Chains A and B, each alone.
Chain A
Amino acid sequence: MSDITDLSFSELKKMLQKKSLSSTEITTAFLDRIESLNPELNTFITITRDEAMQSAKNADKAISRGTATAYTGIPIAHKDLFCTDGVLTTCGSKILSNFVAPYDAHVVSRCKAAGLVSLGKLNMDEFAMGSSNENSYFGPVRNPWDKTRVPGGSSGGSAAAVAAKLTPLATATDTGGSIRQPAAFTGTSGLKPTYGRVSRFGMIAYASSLDQGGLIAHTAEDLAHGLGLIAGHDSRDSTSAELPVPDYTEVLSDSLAGKVIGLPKQFFDANLNTAMRNAMDAVLDVLKSLGATTVEISLNHVAEAIPAYYVIAPAEASSNLSRFDGVRFGYRADKPTDVLDLYERSRSEGFGSEVKRRILIGTYALSEGYYDAYYKKAQQIRRLIRDDFNRALASCDLIFGPSTPSTAFGIGEKNSDPVSMYLEDIYTVATNLAGLPGGSFQAPLVNGLPTGYQLTGPAFGESIILNAAYQVQTATDWHRLNPGGL
């Protein structure tokens, strides 16, 4: 048998059900690997060994008593943006570097209720703002495939931890590509569900009309299990959809015969480099061999998605992040002279430079005299983008494209130029503006580094995305490739 940590979430589920492995054995194996590899990779901000061993013990008891759920005893780790009762929750920021959350996020409580064992909290770009995980107060995460490169962001810790087999499943969040881009850079599978599919209660807010919780794992099957656990209505999030949650695993084996895959001509233009195009063509060949057909579609306003995003997201962020004032929680500046000094210094000393930039852009865009030119204009473009997707999805079942313009870039390569970093999300941002579900899955390596293809589906059409990705994974072994040298 291979090492325990080589097993996927779905494989671990089977081993526990067959009682071939105990949760204590599994949890110990992952914790040991974390302790040996984390100093170099920096994927975890907090490792909760004692709590994890205790939950593993409880899981084993529940399994032997017959009171276990289908998932009891399988490890998970949470992006440090999800509040965890009694456990440090930093959001990658100095301003929350001492914040022990007083309650669990909805996603965390659902995982606990299912008996999953939490291994700890994962590194991320501060307040989920970034595409490289270099904006973390706790230092950059290294890509397990090449430690001189970034793992992507903002869910860089989640993606790198799964890729390095430090956890079989990780929670993550995606506001403009923060699940899909790091999944592509690390050779993992990542799913951003439809806006409203997963409750945002207890997720530290960045841009509330775009933020969505999701997952990163090794396979589409793992994601199907995980999504079933965390999806569903929650009265504590007023934007959470009151729709039934299907069994996402049920449709995985459906045939792709007759499925129509839309190829946006704007994604396959001259800007897509040859190596990436070849990788995408290899995936398309598999989809076609499985019975799907392709059709060219047009997303006419997709080029304006990044500009509109960099108004809407910072505007919402400037409002959301006003709650960090040094009064109720988090970091407070030393010896404030008056209350204004308390606010200004707590925030200036507590926030990193990218967060400050976005707060300033957002404040400017919402300030008197500029609202129509920026915020209203961006929201009008948002409608045009959403209408483009709806039109396109009337003629196809799924939209296919690359997840990123290239493979993972080097640490330090882009962090002096914010705009070049923003353009990393050129293929992913539009999905968030439209509120649609999107997944990134393993495509062939390019020069020894992972690439990802992206599938976007209709609202609440996660099943179709997971079905297609599962079928590709059944026919290929790209998702089984591992970073060497760990």
Chain B
Amino acid sequence: MSLTSDHVKRVAKLARLGLTDAETTETLTQLNSILDLVDQMQRINTKDVVPLAHPLELKQTLRADEVTEMDQREKFQNTAPQADDGLYLVPRVVE
């Protein structure tokens, strides 16, 4: 199935990626060629095949319910573009 530029715009919105009109057109062509490649999957009959989410199907282990993480807020917030008094600053969200 082929994408339209409306699909691309909608998906870009979902992915929080702003695309210019020129980028949308270029992306449309490329995504359609990738989907043509991906569509080769359809030649395989996968009826009743259980999907494999993870290669090794390892058991998830549980750890003891103990506090192991230290408070490193200041260290981590040092890498933020804008932080103040322990808070990340963003443009106003609620009017």
Contacts and interface: CB of A to CB of B under 8 A. Distances in A.
B56 A241 contact: yes
Contact of A344 (B7, B16, B38, B44): B16
Contacts of A414: none
Interface string A189-201: 0000011100000
A241 B57 CA distance: 11
A57 B11 CA distance: 53
A369 to B, nearest CB: 11
Interface string A322-334: 1001111111100
Given A332-B82, A381-B46, A307 B39 contact: yes
Contacts, number: 169
Nearest to A310: B38
Interface SS majority for chain A? helix
B90 A342 contact: yes
- The 3 A-B pairs at the shortest CB distance, nearest first, are namely A435-B55, A379-B51, A383-B52
A303 B19 CA distance: 33
Interface of A: 99-100, 102, 194-196, 209-210, 235, 238-239, 241-242, 301, 303-304, 306-308, 310-311, 318, 322, 325-332, 336-345, 347-348, 351, 356-357, 359-361, 363-365, 367, 374, 376-384, 386, 417-419, 422, 433-436, 459
Contact of A386 (B52, B75, B92): B52
Contacts of A417: 33
A311 B42 CA distance: 13
Interface in B14-47: 14-19, 27, 30-31, 33-44, 46
A381 B37 contact: no
A312 to B, nearest CB: 9
A335 B37 CA distance: 40
B37 A241 contact: no
Contacts of B2: none
21 contacts: A100-B79, A196-B56, A209-B53, A235-B63, A238-B60, A301-B44, A310-B37, A322-B15, A322-B16, A329-B79, A329-B81, A342-B90, A360-B8, A361-B35, A364-B11, A380-B50, A380-B52, A383-B50, A384-B46, A384-B49, A422-B34
Contacts of A377: 41-42, 46
Nearest to A433: B55
Nearest to B78: A102
A115 B45 CA distance: 52
B17 A347 contact: yes
B95 to A, nearest CB: 10
B30 A418 contact: yes
Given A102-B72, A336-B91, A418 B54 contact: no
A417 B30 CA distance: 8
Nearest to B18: A344
Contacts of B67: none
Contact of A383 (B30, B51, B91): B51
A386 B52 CA distance: 9
Contacts of B51: 376, 379-380, 382-383
B27 to A, nearest CB: 7
Contacts of A306: 37
Contacts of B49: 380-381, 383-384
Given A102-B75, A311-B41, A422-B37, A345 B18 contact: yes
A327 B88 contact: yes
Contact of B31 (A311, A318, A364, A384): A364
B17 A327 contact: no
Contacts of B14: 363, 367
Contacts of B93: 338-339
B74 to A, nearest CB: 10
A104 to B, nearest CB: 13
B34 A338 contact: no
A409 B15 CA distance: 33
Contacts of B50: 380, 383
A433 B11 CA distance: 26
A329 B44 CA distance: 43
A351 B91 CA distance: 21
A377 B52 CA distance: 10
Given A235-B63, A306-B37, A419-B37, A348 B17 contact: yes
Given A102-B72, A357-B27, A381-B44, 8 more contacts: A196-B58, A310-B38, A340-B16, A359-B15, A360-B8, A360-B11, A377-B42, A419-B36
Given A310-B38, A357-B30, A360-B31, A209 B54 contact: yes
B55 A434 contact: yes
A428 to B, nearest CB: 15
Nearest to B60: A238
A115 B42 CA distance: 51
